Amino acid sequence: MDDHALARELATAAGDLLLGLRREHPDLTGAELGAEGDRQANMVLLKALAEHRPDDAVRSEESEDTAAAPGSGRLWIIDPLDGTREYCDRTRHDWAVHVALAENGTLVAGAVAVPATGRTFATDRPEPLAAATSRPRPRVAVSRSHRPAVVDALAGEMAVDLIPMGSAGVKAIAVLIGAADAYVHDGGQYEWDSAAPVAVLAAAGAHTSRIDGSPLRYGNTTPELPDLLICRPELKDTMLSALAAIA
């Protein structure tokens, strides 16, 4: 199958595994469930990529980078369980699985599975952004557990409503489906946090960049990629201007 379809299949499969683990092991504590979910989902993804794309490199939150065939420039970037804190709370749905492919620094395919909702969003069949609303105050998705100072500063610069959520992938998908208008983060993120969400939202027509408007590049020497802006295209200039004023 092609890279887009593979990203969808792998994200969905890891998500199904995580749902089964959550359902079949009520005896596991929150921390135990999260650790086992991270481990098993990572193993499933690494095994599948070794089988289907043996010459490609892999960068995962849960293991060391693997090497690519010389000169390939292809790097799979995976987060086997994004939103571990939310996954450990069996009542929550805002956790995800991220699978993305970058080639020479540019994202070329990706998938975000939101298993608790039964949906996977991927670049093989990009979904269009939800229709714009007439809301006077844009809704900005922000981290529930690691809320960056920039979002409070943004709320002081322009009239927005802040909506806390788990998983970076879930926050990005909220923009796609119309539950939010933008997602802003600064500090403490890595390539695996944003690669798949950015691939999916860019394919849907959203604006994606760093918070200074510069392009997002993947496959860097180190995986840190600390800031991110995803928003509806009509909000791009307003959001970037407000973020520049804060900086």
Q: What is the pLDDT along the chain (247 residues), one digit of tens a residue?
A: 899 999 999 999 999 999 999 999 998 888 999 999 999 999 999 999 999 999 999 999 999 999 887 778 999 999 999 999 999 999 999 999 999 999 999 999 999 999 999 999 999 999 999 998 888 899 999 988 778 889 999 999 999 999 999 999 999 999 999 999 999 999 889 999 999 999 999 999 999 999 999 999 999 999 999 999 999 999 999 999 999 998 7
Report the C-alpha gap between 9 and 38 in whole angstroms. 18
pTM for this entry = 0.95
State the pLDDT at residue 143: 85
175: domain CATH number is 3.40.190.80
Q: Assess if residue 79 is contained within a domain.
A: yes
For residue 194 the two structure tokens come to 């944003």
State the pLDDT at residue 132: 86
Q: Assess if residue 171 is contained within a domain.
A: yes
| The total number of structural domains that make up the chain | 2
* 101 in the same domain as 24: yes
Structural domain span for residue 36: 3-122
* 146 in the same domain as 116: no
Strands in 61-218 per DSSP E:
63-66, 74-82, 96-103, 106-114, 119-122, 139-143, 161-165, 182-186, 207-209
Q: Assess if residue 134 is contained within a domain.
A: no
Q: Which residues contact 47 (CB under 8 A, 6 or more apart)?
A: none
Q: Assess if residue 129 is contained within a domain.
A: no
* 193 in the same domain as 155: yes
